[in-house]
Structure 1
């Protein structure tokens, strides 16, 4: 497949597999695409009502904080956290001449949300070349976040040359295996996965990590909300570009019994939402530079946009949840 529009079935309601396309299980109709996709930093607010995920594009200039964190996260005991992704500290190129500056703006935006996040998660590609200096720089920059805890998962750019060892020296304290881990807060179970170490088959978890997930989930009640972080998507967004995880279905099968599962990833540098039964996938935007839409370029290389439009392609994500509810309210905000 060479064109993004051709990747999805153009017949409403007919799976891509019926049209003779690969990855039919993960295909979307054009109607679903228009409903769930917000490319290049559009703010997308999602709620769950009657078991259905409902989304709309939010005006970043308007007052949408209540919509994003209102009924889903109001009152005592509410969980509110922020996802940032793909800061690529160390990148040098015309797509963004100052990635450190734009990441600093993202940190400032997090600190100006009007609430103190319970934690901030960076979903990978913290650095561009995984050097010790770049890891030290991004760690120092994230120390300015006004939050109690900062979590990370590695991207492929954090694993260059050493299978992630330098990353784990800086950010791997308390993790298991090659950097995976889990934690619980506010009645939600979080799992942080590493799927960026096998660069020859980008998007791979491996048997040891899948075994960790199986044991980690075994004791949980099926009504426990589960949130999974990874860098590369856990669904086949565009395998030709490495925008998929080849053994993710083994983890997805373990998540099927839970009533509410949210998977949050980075890597693709643009917003995308997909729902499969009880599981909703959200791809995050970047703080560094945009990438092309799938199939609209020969390769996923940094895109140069007019300077005044760059911040529209960058942003952060805030998520709210109130214990006892099924819904997580997700708000994607442009850096502009």
Structure 2
């Protein structure tokens, strides 16, 4: 009996072993395909699935496997599309598995190692309608209002004209991506100059895909090109002209970040390279581009120049560059295109309400809104310090962590030696500082040390630290006295107006502004 049991056990083991061998031969571990996307990018890939985000309404996906042993059922979650109007031309059979408002899951079971799927969006019978906005710069409140309106009124898509972030960090892209992901219509973006800072261009590509794209929808050609560096590459200029010269469509719309000219009298906050701007203007005029939408200047403006309408929609959250009557109000732009023409008009948004964990840094030509999370991405400085009040009493001793004022001002273009810095608190209190406070010479440095915007005190960060953000002077002796203050206050500033070192340590900082 024992021999039979042993023999049976050996037989089962052999059978199971053989089964395992057969299974291993038939279904080895699959390697993921190589995927390239024209008009989009890959967000995630595994051996049997991938997530692809479209950056236009017309795009193509190419998949390539190494060998036949890698083939099998493969699922693609394609996002940022209009699923109900999606048309697919494929070199293999496909099946729609599940749709949401802006995505679809497609199943393919390829028999060839190379597969291509070409996607286009079929027109419907309604007039083309979309929202345009720009320069949210990390303030997601404006985006939340725009997305709420989009989810209620259902435009065909949204266009963000750049400066989605304060300075292009991963956490900033995650924040704006999360806010935009609530939209039930597709969102297309172009990078702004803030988005490419500190390695931000690569992160833009990771989150939003190519910096240029084109598509045709409802008989209108859309082109988006990159001006985030202050100029336009020769490759992009050639692409613009070739795309425009080849299109049979009468209506044409271009999207970018920086306008080709500043419509304000005496303004120069536009494309830095004027020769390139003139060349693109000539191309747009030659090929009869109807509208160029841009941001960068924080206002609404509509100007017609040589039959091209130039619309600036830079009011999604960053601080404004004009008075309300001159276009300085928070807004997005609602655009409807009918056979009879274009309807273009701003829709006002509620003004941002900043808590004590956000502040604005404003340069001569640009500004940025920063949160406590943004500040923590910058090079930090820490040290102990204290100040003397008007009664010669010492206050505030402890360890401060923050960012040098010089590093903050670099984000908005730096300052000249003749410039002044105005710092305003939430309660309206303000102080003026000079270039020498920001970049002290050896004599001033021995008395003042580094000038720092602190966001943490003795281990407590803003917003729990209720005095922050706070200006802090960090001399080596850890004591900023009234005498030190007197010797580091330029004429007409600081000690000469109010004899207190403590008054220079502005609490509840809301605005840091360069003045010339």
TM over 0.5: yes
Deviation at residue 165 of structure 1 after TM alignment: 1.3
The residue correspondences of 1:189-208 to structure 2 (distance < 5 A) are 189-197=221-229, 203-208=230-235
Select 1:128's aligned residue among 143, 158, 166. Answer: 166
Number of residue-to-residue matches in the alignment: 221
Inter-CA distance 205–84: structure 2 relative to 1 (3 Å threshold): same
Counterpart position of 2:309? 280
Select 2:155's aligned residue among 94, 113, 117. Answer: 117
Counterpart position of 2:176? 138
Counterpart position of 2:136? 87
1:151 aligned to 2:181?
Answer: no
- SS of corresponding position for 1:104: helix
Residue deviations 1:14-57 (CA, integer Å, cap 9, x gap) = xxxxxxxxxxxxxxxxxxxxxxxxxxxxxxxxxxxxxxxxxxxx
In the alignment, the residues of structure 2 paired with residue 259 and residue 210 of structure 1 have an alpha-carbon distance, to the nearest angstrom, of: 16
Counterpart position of 1:244? 271
Residue deviations 1:128-149 (CA, integer Å, cap 9, x gap) = 12111111111111111121x2
Structure index of larger Rg? 2
In the alignment, the residues of structure 1 paired with residue 267 and residue 316 of structure 2 have an alpha-carbon distance, to the nearest angstrom, of: 24
- SS of corresponding position for 2:132: strand
1:230 aligned to 2:230?
Answer: no
In the alignment, the residues of structure 2 paired with residue 157 and residue 260 of structure 1 have an alpha-carbon distance, to the nearest angstrom, of: 27
Q: Which ranges of 4 or more aligned residues in structure 1 deviate by more than 4 Å?
A: 238-241
Counterpart position of 1:308? none
Return 5+ residue gaps in structure 2 as ranges: 1-123, 351-516
Select 1:317's aligned residue among 333, 346, 356. Answer: 333
In the alignment, the residues of structure 2 paired with residue 240 and residue 321 of structure 1 have an alpha-carbon distance, to the nearest angstrom, of: 30
In the alignment, the residues of structure 2 paired with residue 260 and residue 230 of structure 1 have an alpha-carbon distance, to the nearest angstrom, of: 14
- SS of corresponding position for 2:344: strand
TM-score by length of 1: 0.61
Residue deviations 1:200-243 (CA, integer Å, cap 9, x gap) = xxx2112111011121112123x611111111102244686432
Task: Please say if residues 270 and 290 of structure 1, whose CA atoms lie closer than 8 Å, have aligned partners that are also in contact.
Answer: no
- SS of corresponding position for 2:253: strand
Counterpart position of 1:28? none
The residue correspondences of 1:40-79 to structure 2 (distance < 5 A) are 76-79=125-128
- SS of corresponding position for 1:328: strand
TM-score by length of 2: 0.40
Return 5+ residue gaps in structure 1 as ranges: 1-74, 90-98, 198-202, 297-304, 306-311
Deviation at residue 192 of structure 1 after TM alignment: 0.5
Task: Please say if residues 237 and 243 of structure 1, whose CA atoms lie closer than 8 Å, have aligned partners that are also in contact.
Answer: no
Deviation at residue 162 of structure 1 after TM alignment: 2.1
Counterpart position of 2:81? none
Counterpart position of 1:331? 345
In the alignment, the residues of structure 2 paired with residue 130 and residue 188 of structure 1 have an alpha-carbon distance, to the nearest angstrom, of: 31
Deviation at residue 110 of structure 1 after TM alignment: 2.9
Task: Please say if residues 229 and 265 of structure 1, whose CA atoms lie closer than 8 Å, have aligned partners that are also in contact.
Answer: yes
Task: Please say if residues 258 and 278 of structure 1, whose CA atoms lie closer than 8 Å, have aligned partners that are also in contact.
Answer: no
Inter-CA distance 216–245: structure 2 relative to 1 (3 Å threshold): farther
Deviation at residue 290 of structure 1 after TM alignment: 3.0
Residue deviations 1:169-206 (CA, integer Å, cap 9, x gap) = 1111xx3xxx1111110111111011112xxxxx2112
In the alignment, the residues of structure 2 paired with residue 218 and residue 108 of structure 1 have an alpha-carbon distance, to the nearest angstrom, of: 38
Counterpart position of 2:147? 107
In the alignment, the residues of structure 2 paired with residue 245 and residue 224 of structure 1 have an alpha-carbon distance, to the nearest angstrom, of: 30
The structure that is strand-richer by fraction is: 2
Counterpart position of 1:181? 213
After superposition, the CA RMSD in angstroms is: 2.3
In the alignment, the residues of structure 2 paired with residue 290 and residue 77 of structure 1 have an alpha-carbon distance, to the nearest angstrom, of: 36
Select 1:219's aligned residue among 246, 267, 270. Answer: 246
In the alignment, the residues of structure 1 paired with residue 321 and residue 253 of structure 2 have an alpha-carbon distance, to the nearest angstrom, of: 27
Task: Please say if residues 295 and 312 of structure 2, whose CA atoms lie closer than 8 Å, have aligned partners that are also in contact.
Answer: yes
Bigger relative contact order (CA 8 A; separation at least 6): 1
